[in-house]
């Protein structure tokens, strides 16, 4: 049975990216994009942006990687349709043909600044916001969904899960960030466009369901309705104690059974996701108030955000052995705290990127430094690169996403150049970002078609062209 951990490509493997038709060469390297006729979604504004940005990237390899990675979501993962006369967008993750609320939101983020220039992009965003709302209303506890809302999951690893699986749900791992990302997407789209069309009664119903679910998972009055168990050799695939997770003392934080890596939390009070929830709830409140005039929904979201923020600031900080204070990765409310970091965002390292903290905040800076060090059991330093991984694909495996996040938050050009060097070393000749690669041998990698990582690389390059063009020569 193939599962997410089995999608490993090695030396000589036939990667999906490498199998794409050859297009125009760039600096001696053939394009890895599909032929124009085979692209899932075409945007004139995105093609113009590729040309504009490429002209500013002096490094030929980085330019080639950008041209492959930036349009990857549109080229390969978008399926447009119509539901009740309105645009519908189903955005798969890549090599898994299902929609993750988190991934789909992150995948389209790099195109947002172009949406006013291209009506097709506008329809993509409108369609995805609506699709996500319908998914949340199927089951706000699910992380991944089928294209057909009446279909049962076809993911082999989820077929026997002991949880309340509903039609339309592909996987039902409760992750706080799964509801945060659609809030962020809606807010960013609203801020960019001022377009009220997506924020209809459907969106508002899903927003209220999201707030209600967050409150249920504060677990003030018992464990709530969600539980999950899976028969798997990896303990991070399931939850203890009849599927309700490790014991906690409720303190106002939101319980998350799984991390954005889809790995089980050790302690259910996952700090990065709680800080993200605070930010996302306030963003959702802005949309509810400004786009809909729904002051009640806005006030409810802000009240919950205030409560979660106070609880997380009180209970989500820990003391390292040398006395330095940092954000914990997870806590249990009894005083126990766990320090590590995972490459998937929200992470401790990605808090500033998501707008959860100020990049200059001393607590964040201390936490960020500890995460990129041997204090983090999932920080790896090898012959090819250094970076953060996580339990999902095991030890020694660095996720390019962590290197990208470090480059995006770097305070100096030298760090950015180092990160770019590691990223160039990581793609193993494919021209794409992967899920993870061996710290000594990038030819050993997982997931040759992982659109979130490709999009994040493109987003990083856009930012460097705008703010640090000198590092790209």
Q: Is residue 47 part of a domain?
A: yes
What per-residue confidence (pLDDT) applies to 349? 98
Q: Is residue 239 part of a domain?
A: no
Q: Is residue 410 part of a domain?
A: yes
pLDDT tens across 7-50, in order?
Answer: 433 333 323 333 333 233 344 689 999 999 999 999 999 999 99
What per-residue confidence (pLDDT) applies to 5? 44
End-to-end Cα separation, the chain, in angstroms: 45
pLDDT tens across 338-386, in order?
Answer: 999 999 999 999 999 999 999 999 999 999 999 999 999 999 999 999 9
**From the centroid of its chain, how far is CA 209?**
21
Q: Which long-range contacts (CB under 8 A, 24 or more apart) does 120-125 make?
A: 120/41, 120/42, 120/43, 121/43, 121/45, 121/46, 122/193, 122/195, 123/80, 123/87, 123/89, 124/41, 124/78, 124/80, 124/87, 124/89, 125/89, 125/185, 125/189, 125/193, 125/198
**Can you give the pTM of this predicted structure?**
0.94
Q: Is residue 34 part of a domain?
A: yes
CA angle, 60 then 66 then 72, to 5°: 145
What per-residue confidence (pLDDT) applies to 7? 43
Total domains present in the chain: 1
Q: Is residue 43 part of a domain?
A: yes
Spans of the chain below 70 pLDDT:
1-28
Q: Is residue 263 part of a domain?
A: no
Q: Is residue 249 part of a domain?
A: no
What per-residue confidence (pLDDT) applies to 333? 98
What per-residue confidence (pLDDT) applies to 28? 61
CA torsion 415→419→424→428, rounded to 10°? 150
Cβ atoms 217, 255 nearer than 8 A: yes
Can you read off the two tokens belonging to residue 61? 């390899």
What per-residue confidence (pLDDT) applies to 30? 95
DSSP 8-state symbol, 330: E
Task: Order the strands of the 269-270 sheet from edge to edge.
Answer: 269-270, 330-331, 337-338
Q: Is residue 463 part of a domain?
A: yes
What's the half-sphere exposure (Cβ side, CA atoms, 13 Å) at 135?
Answer: 32
Domain range for 392 is 1-72+378-473
């Amino acid at each position: 049975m193939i599962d997410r951990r089995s999608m490993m490509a090695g030396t000589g493997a036939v990667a999906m990216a490498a199998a794409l038709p050859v297009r125009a060469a760039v600096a001696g390297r053939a394009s890895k994009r599909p032929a124009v006729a085979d692209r899932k979604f075409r945007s004139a504004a995105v093609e113009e942006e590729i040309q504009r940005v490429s002209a500013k990237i002096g490094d030929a390899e980085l330019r080639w990687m950008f041209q492959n990675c930036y349009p990857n979501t549109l080229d390969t993962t978008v399926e447009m349709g119509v539901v009740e006369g309105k645009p519908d967008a189903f955005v798969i993750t890549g090599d898994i043909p299902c929609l993750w609320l988190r991934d789909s939101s992150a995948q389209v983020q790099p195109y947002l600044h172009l949406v006013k220039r291209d009506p097709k992009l506008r329809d993509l965003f409108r369609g995805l916001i609506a699709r996500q709302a319908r998914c949340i209303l199927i089951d706000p506890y699910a992380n991944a969904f089928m294209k057909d809302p009446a279909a049962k999951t076809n993911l082999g690893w989820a077929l026997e899960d002991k949880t309340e699986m509903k039609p339309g749900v592909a996987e039902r791992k409760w992750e706080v960030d799964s509801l945060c990302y659609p809030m962020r997407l809606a807010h960013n789209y609203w801020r960019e466009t001022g377009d009220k069309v997506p924020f209809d009664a459907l969106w508002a119903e899903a927003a209220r369901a999201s707030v209600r679910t967050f409150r249920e998972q504060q677990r003030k009055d018992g464990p709530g309705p969600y539980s999950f168990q899976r028969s798997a050799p990896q303990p991070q695939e399931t939850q203890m104690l009849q599927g309700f997770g490790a014991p906690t003392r409720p303190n106002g934080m939101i319980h998350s059974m799984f991390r954005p890596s889809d790995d089980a939390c050790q302690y259910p009070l996952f700090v990065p996701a709680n800080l993200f929830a605070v930010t996302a709830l306030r963003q959702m409140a802005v949309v509810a108030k400004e786009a809909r005039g729904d002051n009640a929904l806005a006030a409810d979201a802000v009240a919950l955000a205030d409560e979660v923020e106070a609880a997380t600031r009180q209970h989500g900080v820990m003391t390292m052995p040398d006395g330095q204070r940092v954000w914990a990765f997870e806590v249990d409310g009894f005083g126990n705290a766990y320090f590590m970091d995972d490459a998937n965002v929200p992470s401790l390292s990605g808090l500033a990127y998501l707008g959860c903290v100020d990049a200059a905040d001393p607590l964040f800076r201390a936490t960020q430094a500890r995460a990129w060090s041997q204090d983090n059991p999932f920080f790896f330093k090898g012959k090819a690169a250094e970076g953060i991984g996580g339990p999902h694909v095991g030890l020694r495996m660095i996720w390019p996403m962590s290197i990208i996040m470090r480059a995006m938050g770097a305070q100096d050009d030298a760090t950015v150049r180092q990160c770019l060097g590691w990223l160039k070393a990581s793609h193993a000749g494919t021209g794409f970002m992967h899920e993870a690669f061996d710290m000594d041998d990038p030819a050993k990698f997982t997931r040759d078609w992982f659109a979130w990582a490709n999009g994040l690389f493109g987003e990083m390059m856009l930012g460097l062209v705008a703010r640090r063009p000198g590092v790209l020569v």
